[in-house]
A and B are shown apart, each in its own frame.
Chain A
Amino acid sequence: MKLVIAIIQPHKLDDVKKELYQEEVNLITVSEVLGHGRQKGVTEVYRGIKETGNLLRKIRLEIAVNDNFLERTIKAITKGARTGETGDGKIFVLDLSECVRIRTGETGPEAIG
């Protein structure tokens, strides 16, 4: 089991969601975050940032997947989020040691899907 965390441009969220649904990855958690990468909040990437101290608005996705879904999840996020400009974001993949579905008490790979 893996936990995929992706930081993407806010305006690409819809495209990423569309790509994920096409790959049948339907379980996703989304939050709005601030941050900056290598560009250190360079203004031409995304505007309206002076007020937030050089931090740019980003969207953070968290997706728990079974190993056989990992590749297509990464592919979908990359395809949906890429514009080719600085600030497109990052994808992090973490090993996931356990997953519990609260409603049924199921654990492990069963609980993810």
Chain B
Amino acid sequence: MINAGDTAFVLIASAMVLLMTPGLAFFYGGMVRRKNILGVLMQCFIIMCVLGLQWVLFGYSLSFAPGNAFIGSLDWAGLRGVGLEPYAGYAATIPHQAFMIFQAMFAVITPALIIGAFAERMKFSAFLVFTLLWAFLVYDPITHMVWGNGGLLKSMGVQDFAGGIVVHVNAGIAALVAALYLGKRRHFPQAVAPHNLPFTVLGAGLLWFGWFGFNAGSALAANGIAVNAFVVTNTAGAAAGLTWALIDWLYNGKPTMFGTITGAIAGLAAITPAAGFVGVIPAILIGISVSLIGFFMVAIVKFKFSYDDSLDAFGVHGIGGIIGVLATGLFASKALNPAGVDGLFNGNPKFFLIQLGAVLFTVVYSLAGTFVILKIVDKLMGVRVNEKDEAIGLDLTQHKETAYTVLE
């Protein structure tokens, strides 16, 4: 039975999640040098186009259609049989296509997150091929395994409310592999000053806003679980943003704008898998711990191991995702969500181990898959721009445009 309220809510949530990708574009775009901002905006925007098509033609079917434990079949390719009636296997009160388009926005933003790792140095052509292959070979299978009926991890009892595994761990690990594979930018580890921090703050604001659609929308109904997800999302983002600002203050002498938004985004990523299963106090603990660990990763580990995860796609989203998935294993409460499970602190240590296993599996799968894809694309066309193009910037060399004029 289609419920009008649920349908309206999921459609609005879908639109909010779509807005996260341009939001991410500004979040990342402000961080790069002025000669590369169009490159970042373009990569984010073209993903909305490319994945928007891939999803309705193949991606949704490979992710959600009945198939084996690893991947869905092509029965729903081109949305064959995916109609305007509900499909009770996923969401009983909204049209099947509403669920499909909500999921489409996740398929769009996940590869967009990876952009942060190879910013300022990847060839646009190679980026396109990489993104498309990654959608087919990594995103769709992982989504099927975690969320698809009959999927391997889902059958084992793994819980991922809004995409901590599917989106954040998955993209975060891919980001780390891409940063290592492409190598450092010319000047690393010399810091590159963000060319427009206000853009980055604007992007963070849009992401925070969109995240309510992302997490609350994942309830797939306008109900109490959606409200819980909304509340803990806001709470975790707030706790993490404040924590990062305070660490900045202690460690660098001043609280920075950049640090505060970085923390908030890490907190929002961390609460994602837990949003439907935990209450406000665990949300605060998750927010605080993700900023502590994220700061350590971004400010210390990255330079110690010398990998140029340029915009901290791994350090913020990957780490946030991993912490969130494990925290779900600790704090999940059946009292809060009867459809969920109890975590370690509610007397169910086995669930924590299941979540840990899911993280390890996803790390290994995404790592191997991403590496193989990069290797193939590199052999086909080369993944990295040459040194001169890197010096001139991606805006001019990849798109023949500049973002800013000197006069007028």
Q: Mark A45-57, 1 if CB is under 8 A from B, else 0.
A: 0111001100101
B396 and A51 contact, CB distance less than 8 A? no
A47 and B391 contact, CB distance less than 8 A? no
A32 in contact (CB, < 8 A): yes
Which residue of chain A lies nearest to B390 when distances are taken between CB atoms in the complex?
A11
Q: Which of B388, B396, B402, B406 contacts A34 (CB 8 A)?
A: B406
Q: Which of B391, B395, B401, B406 contacts A11 (CB 8 A)?
A: B391
A48 and B391 contact, CB distance less than 8 A? no
B407 and A48 contact, CB distance less than 8 A? no
B405 and A51 contact, CB distance less than 8 A? yes
Q: Mark B386-401, 1 if CB is under 8 A from A, else 0.
A: 0010011101100011
Residues from chain A with Cβ under 8 Å of B401 in the complex: 48
A14 in contact (CB, < 8 A): yes
Q: Which of A12, A14, A57 contacts B406 (CB 8 A)?
A: A57
- Number of A interface residues in the complex (CB < 8 A): 14
A14 and B407 contact, CB distance less than 8 A? no
A52 and B400 contact, CB distance less than 8 A? no
Cα A49 to Cα B28 with chains together (Å): 26
Q: How many A-B residue pairs have CB under 8 A?
A: 29
Which residue of chain A lies nearest to B403 when distances are taken between CB atoms in the complex?
A48
Interface residues of A in 11-64 (CB under 8 A from B): 11-12, 14, 32-34, 46-48, 51-52, 55, 57
Cα A11 to Cα B394 with chains together (Å): 12
Q: Shortest distance in angstroms between B389's beta carbon and chain A's nearest beta carbon?
A: 9
Cα A68 to Cα B388 with chains together (Å): 33
**With contact pairs A11-B388, A14-B391 given, residues A47 and B405 touching in the complex (Cβ less than 8 Å):** no
Residues from chain A with Cβ under 8 Å of B402 in the complex: 48, 51
Cα A47 to Cα B400 with chains together (Å): 7
Cα A52 to Cα B393 with chains together (Å): 18
B396 and A47 contact, CB distance less than 8 A? yes
B400 and A48 contact, CB distance less than 8 A? yes
Residues from chain A with Cβ under 8 Å of B187 in the complex: 14
Interface residues of B in 138-191 (CB under 8 A from A): 186-187
Residues from chain A with Cβ under 8 Å of B405 in the complex: 51-52
A32 and B406 contact, CB distance less than 8 A? yes
Cα A5 to Cα B88 with chains together (Å): 73
Residues from chain A with Cβ under 8 Å of B407 in the complex: 34, 52, 55
Cα A14 to Cα B388 with chains together (Å): 12
Q: Shortest distance in angstroms between B145's beta carbon and chain A's nearest beta carbon?
A: 45
Q: Shortest distance in angstroms between B400's beta carbon and chain A's nearest beta carbon?
A: 5
Cα A5 to Cα B380 with chains together (Å): 45
Cα A34 to Cα B405 with chains together (Å): 10
Cα A33 to Cα B187 with chains together (Å): 24
Cα A55 to Cα B187 with chains together (Å): 29
Which residue of chain B lies nearest to A14 when distances are taken between CB atoms in the complex?
B391
Cα A32 to Cα B35 with chains together (Å): 13
Q: Shortest distance in angstroms between A35's beta carbon and chain B's nearest beta carbon?
A: 10
Which residue of chain A lies nearest to B392 when distances are taken between CB atoms in the complex?
A11
Residues from chain B with Cβ under 8 Å of A55 in the complex: 407
Residues from chain B with Cβ under 8 Å of A34 in the complex: 406-407
Residues from chain A with Cβ under 8 Å of B388 in the complex: 11
Which residue of chain B lies nearest to A33 when distances are taken between CB atoms in the complex?
B406
Residues from chain B with Cβ under 8 Å of A12 in the complex: 391
Which residue of chain B lies nearest to A43 when distances are taken between CB atoms in the complex?
B400
Which residue of chain B lies nearest to A32 when distances are taken between CB atoms in the complex?
B406
Q: Shortest distance in angstroms between A57's beta carbon and chain B's nearest beta carbon?
A: 6
Which residue of chain B lies nearest to A55 when distances are taken between CB atoms in the complex?
B407
Cα A46 to Cα B396 with chains together (Å): 9
A48 and B396 contact, CB distance less than 8 A? yes
Q: Shortest distance in angstroms between B293's beta carbon and chain A's nearest beta carbon?
A: 34
Residues from chain B with Cβ under 8 Å of A46 in the complex: 392, 396
Q: Shortest distance in angstroms between A62's beta carbon and chain B's nearest beta carbon?
A: 18
Q: Shortest distance in angstroms between A78's beta carbon and chain B's nearest beta carbon?
A: 18
Q: Shortest distance in angstroms between A109's beta carbon and chain B's nearest beta carbon?
A: 33
B406 and A48 contact, CB distance less than 8 A? no
Cα A52 to Cα B186 with chains together (Å): 29
Residues from chain B with Cβ under 8 Å of A10 in the complex: 392
Cα A93 to Cα B187 with chains together (Å): 31
Question: Can you pick out 12 interface pairs between chain A and chain B where the beta carbons lie within 8 Å of each other?
Answer: A11-B393, A14-B186, A14-B187, A14-B391, A33-B406, A48-B396, A48-B401, A48-B402, A52-B405, A52-B406, A55-B407, A57-B406
Please list the 6 inter-chain residue pairs (A to B) with the smallest Cβ-Cβ separation, ordered nearest first.
A11-B391, A48-B402, A11-B392, A48-B396, A47-B396, A34-B406
Instruction: List 15 other contacts, CB 8 Å, given A11-B392, A14-B187, A34-B407.
Output: A11-B388, A11-B391, A11-B393, A32-B406, A33-B406, A46-B392, A47-B396, A47-B400, A48-B396, A48-B400, A48-B402, A51-B402, A51-B405, A55-B407, A57-B406
